[in-house]
Amino acid sequence: VILSSGTFMRGLIHIGDLNFPGGRLGDPAATGLSLALKERGFPISRLKTGTPP
């Protein structure tokens, strides 16, 4: 099973030295989903991509 949740699963907003959970335009991060999957033994990872210029 592949679950593609986009940018909201454990989403973090970075502003300068600050970071906090969230998504675009003030939408909440899906923290409960990632926590539930992790508690059930599913591997959780991130695909880090660079922002193009």
In whole angstroms, give the CA distance from residue 33 to residue 38: 9
In whole angstroms, give the CA distance from residue 3 to residue 42: 11
User: CA angle, corner 13, sides to 23 and 1, nearest 5?
Assistant: 55
In whole angstroms, give the CA distance from residue 37 to residue 35: 5
pTM for the full predicted model: 0.55
- Give me the residue spans of the domains in the chain: 1-44
User: Mapping DSSP to helix (H, G, I), strand (E, B) and coil, where does residue 26 land?
Assistant: helix
- pLDDT, tens digit (0-9, with 9 covering 90-100), for 2-52: 777 767 778 888 889 999 988 888 788 888 888 888 899 988 877 777 766
User: Mapping DSSP to helix (H, G, I), strand (E, B) and coil, where does residue 31 land?
Assistant: helix
